[in-house]
Amino acid sequence: DVVCVQSSDPSGVGYVETANLDGETNLKAKRACAVPGVKSGVSNDPSAVTLERSLTGASIECESPNNQLYKFEGKWRGLVTDTGADLGVSVDNVLLRGSTLRNTGWIVGVVVFTGGDTKLMRNSVRSPRKVSTLERQMNALVLCIGALQLGVSLLCAALHRRWYLNEQTSSIRHWYLQPSGVWPDVDGAGATDYLTQLVRFLVLLNALVPISLYVTLELVKVMQCGWIGLDKSMYDPVNDVKCGVRTTALNEELGQVGCVLSDKTGTLTQNVMAFVKCSVGGRVYSADDGIDGAVHPGFVDLNLRDGESGVLLDGSSEGCAAAKTHTLAKSSALRAAASARDANVVAFLRHLATCHTVVPAVDEAQNNSSDESTAVDDGSSGAVFGGLRYQASSPDEEALVTGAALLGRRLLSNAAGEITCETHPPDGSTDHLVTGGRGNGGDERGAHVGLERCEVLAVNEFTSARKRMSVVVRDVHTGVCTLLLKGADNAVLERLAETDGSGEEIATVKSHLDEFAREGLRTLVLAQREVPKHELSAWLEAYDEAQAALVDREDALAEIAERIERNCVLVGATAVEDKLQDGVPETIETLRRAGCLVWMLTGDKLETAVSIANTCRLIDADGELAIVQESDFVSQGDTGGKINPYFLRDKSREAVEDAKRGCKFGLVIEGGALQHALSTDESQAQFLALCRASSGVVCCRVSPIQKARVTTLMKKRGGFVTMGVGDGANDVGMIKAAHIGVGISGREGRAAVLASDYSVGQFRFLANLLLVHGRWSAKRNREVVLYAFYKNFVYAMANVWFGCVSAMSAQPVFTTAAIATFNVLWTSLPTVAFACFDQDVSPATSLAHPELYRETSRYSNPRFLLDAFVWLVSASWHSMWCLFACLAILGDPEASTSDGKQWDLFTIGIAIFTAAVIACDLKVAVRTNHWTAFNAIAVFGSIAAWFPFVHALSDAWASFGVFASVAGVSDALFPEPRFWLAISVSVVGSIIPDAVAEITKRFLAPKDWHLLRERECIERTRRDRLVTRNGPLLPTHHTSELTVSFDDGDEKNGVKAEKSAAHEGRSSWSSCCVESKQAMRDRRKSRNPSYLDALARARMMEEIEPDWEVTNAELDEDEEL
């Protein structure tokens, strides 16, 4: 971290970009300390000798290292200003590690913090480790399987001990089973022998816990992340942003989201601020409808670059990007008032052009272009206006300054403590001039364009606590000192002077502000006052002392600002519109239909938040609105204004009772009230009950830490899988606190994207991310986990069943080569293909029927354990059936090889293993819904590859001297019909029950996706038949949909479909080929490649699967459908 003392800019200013620190891409101005004897500028090259001489005996005394990016308190020791005061060092003088120098040749500075003491490293926190619900369920299942393994081993060891005791007293003894005396052979029934047998079974059954599951699951998740990133339906062509995946651990968690907590500005809205209305002199100005170009010629002729084309707009263009965005500039009444030099309007425009932190920078793309009419924008942030690019840390300030420029007051420079503005006639007569004289002005500029300069004496910066900012300026020409104040209405209106008529004026502005808020506009109130010189000089002395403070500088500056921000005169109010993004209302409605709670957490005022919530359908329009404010928590009367501890309890009880009666209402709570609601565990429980009873929740006027606390409350106490969605640095806490964090690539930098787990370009892409990819991943990955335990149970439990006929001797049935390759070669590819390609329904169906999402979002831990139990019972049956079927057929005394010898243990073990491999692979085939070439190759290729492996394994002894136990096994098994009979009986007996159970379940208790998948199959069959007969036909929208009733309380059946839906669907088919000539023309088109390409693109753009027209005759022929 460096304190700047010299810059290449003559005014000592250096511009930095802090995207690596806070995600902000707008340039920030850093100023060199006014060190005596050190001058900035290009002509003053940095000299170490000069700097050393000037800084001899000087030192910097500053705060201890901390993580506050926007705060620095320090001062120079040994250096004094011209007034004799200590030279202070503020955050405006410090360039932090991680910043990037822009539009500045060089800077020279003094290093104050290095290494781990820098603010960048102090803000480097370890990202929280996020674990999906499926992984926690899987870990619990592993513990259960471990306990089962121990229990089975204890039981088997006890049964072996009992057999051994019976062997000692039995009249018929197995004399050929003499112990070898070599450990771990058991030769007794003592405690040592019991523990030895226990260890042997533990080792034999260690495969019950599938270690390969973690590798397979991670591989599957990586491939699923690839599908998410490649999904074109989530690509944002406007910003050239595709869906980004920054983690592979939460794919299945996307399918279980129960609560979406979203920011408003830049997330639900576009964060493209449009200056649309203002209140000046008790009147509201807005854009005129149908403006007459003959009366006001050329007003939209502005030297502003079109953001899409990158070309300067000519004088007749009405497509000026700024004029289209900031529609207030089209107000003929406001322009007329500005032309007539109305005092209120002039003060209003001067305030907009002066009270801000906007830094205009030269647009190099325009200046370096020989032909200005063909200059191309470089893509940097900020509006390009009159050859300057306005760089603002806030889009609101950029909108206000640009709007003032459109109305004839253009900001020219803001550097070296001076603000320079050009005044132009608002009638558009000088709109062709380039700001600052770099254009074709000539003598014409002098007649119509003027300059206004003011000296900036002090800046009281905006903070979340103050909710306002102010500047103290001195007019260079008149010498008048003025305080310019702007901020939130509640922070500015209370600082207005009480004069005659001020009450009526304030009431009028308040009514205008309420009107703006109801329209969803962001509002600011402007005020000013002239400061006497004697008051200003005393105040500046206190201001300089506060600037040099080393402790609590921010509080000291706030206190100093409070002294001068008083007795102001109202100037006006601004209304900036932040439009909703495309598809936001539809997306929120879709998510709510999917069973997700959607909450909005914003720092905007209550009226604005409610208006946006109603517009985006977050709150039911037909429901009531419950508003909770901080004043509700304060008791009146006898308690003397103390906190009322019973308000939230009573409110929550009332809400729960209303919800039981079927009443719908939305909850709106302010930040002050939220502070009380989150104060104690009891209040948190009551607040959570209140939120559960409401249909939608809006938290307004909340701070970033409150966003994180609400998210944590829903995460830990609400029992929901939460998703935090935001686009700015103030949303990082919420994004990190949620189970899943999603960053929106917006105008507020990349801080939210860098802290997120997933990133998208628009809020509407969340529907695809959750309802399609999230649901698929949840179902697929759950199958992967259950299948991994299933297949290991199949071959591991065979050893237990074999113990029933081998005196529980812990003798393995399979050879080590088969065991080592079971998971890697023979059963892994089918499950990987399944997890990557399986689809129960198409993406269009998932989006058209968001209720399908409830199947995965409401999947509980008990349900998972129940499904795991069913899978393991099935695995136990498969292993037992395969073992005993092969033993019965191949182990019969009359069964023998071609040379008359009976098959040995490992030969029969290979047969059992073959049946287990085929049964496991076909298990995947039975559960596959969407077949692709990869699925077919993975399933049947794995089965086919097993037999050459057995042949190579049987020849390994002769070729390499290994695997003697299975030498010649292929020659002994493959030619024998009994072997193939054993395999057929084993596989059929294993798979048929599963297939019958699956079919029965679909007939007797079909789920929602079963019905919709059946509809897809019927439509696809009809379409294929029509294509075969008549060639490709143009798609037409299906006007009749399958009627499905989703019952939240019926978790068992999921959904119920009306039986008449299929018959109603048939009646919707209409004729497509009225004349044979039209049919021939369609067939000619079908042979045209360009037509086919256009048709394919049209089908891809359809949100639902298109239907196909058929003739009445074909309906009669297809009656069996």
Report the alpha-carbon distance of residue 295 to residue 339 in Å, rounded: 14
Report the alpha-carbon distance of residue 424 to residue 387 in Å, rounded: 15
446 class by beta-carbon count within 10 Å (0-12 exposed, 13-18 middle, 19+ buried)? exposed
Please, which residues bridge with residue 181 across strands?
none
Q: Report which of 751, 652, 750, 669 is spatially closest to residue 710, judged by C-alpha positions.
A: 669
- Phi and psi at 1032, nearest 5°, equal -60, 135
Task: Give the pLDDT of residue 1096.
Answer: 57
Q: Report which of 303, 243, 238, 246 is spatially closest to residue 271, judged by C-alpha positions.
A: 238
Task: Give the pLDDT of residue 25.
Answer: 61
Report the alpha-carbon distance of residue 335 to residue 292 in Å, rounded: 13
Query: DSSP letter at 770?
Result: I
Known catalytic residues are: 263
- With a cut of 50, which residues of the chain have pLDDT below it? 289-319, 369-380, 437-445, 638-639, 1035-1077, 1079-1080, 1083-1087, 1102-1121
Report the alpha-carbon distance of residue 585 to residue 766 in Å, rounded: 12
C-alpha 772: how far from its chain's center? 15
Alpha-carbon distances of 151 from 145, 292, 626, 796, rounded to whole Å: 10, 89, 56, 15
Q: Which residues contact 654 (CB under 8 A, 6 or more apart)?
A: none
- Asked whether the beta carbons of 700 and 668 are under 8 A apart, the reply is yes
Tokens describing residue 885: 């079927």
Question: Under DSSP, is residue 598 helix (H, G, I), strand (E, B) or coil?
Answer: strand
Task: Give the pLDDT of residue 929.
Answer: 93
Q: Report which of 474, 562, 577, 470 is spatially closest to residue 525, judged by C-alpha positions.
A: 470
Quickly tell me which residue has 């005396």 as its tokens: 181
pLDDT digits (tens, 9 = 90+) for 758-780: 999 999 999 999 999 999 999 99
Residue type, 492: V
Report the alpha-carbon distance of residue 825 to residue 1096 in Å, rounded: 39
860 C-beta neighbours (distance < 10 Å), count: 12
Q: Report which of 1055, 780, 1032, 823 is spatially closest to residue 930, judged by C-alpha positions.
A: 780
Alpha-carbon distances of 353 from 405, 452, 754, rounded to whole Å: 8, 10, 34
Report the alpha-carbon distance of residue 1043 to residue 188 in Å, rounded: 71
Task: Give the pLDDT of residue 572.
Answer: 95
- Asked whether the beta carbons of 977 and 985 are under 8 A apart, the reply is no
Task: Give the pLDDT of residue 103.
Answer: 77
Task: Give the pLDDT of residue 1042.
Answer: 42
Overall pTM surpassing 0.85 (yes/no)? no
Helix (H) or strand (E) holding 848: helix 843-848
Query: If phi over 0 gives left and psi between -120 and 50 gives alpha, with beta otherwise, what is residue 442?
Result: left
Tokens describing residue 1000: 């029965």
Burial letters 514-532, b for 16+ CB under 10 A, else e: ebbbeebbbbbbbbbbebe
Most distant CA pair in the chain, distance: 129
Tokens describing residue 1005: 């208790």
For β-strands 665-670 and 696-700, DSSP reports them as parallel
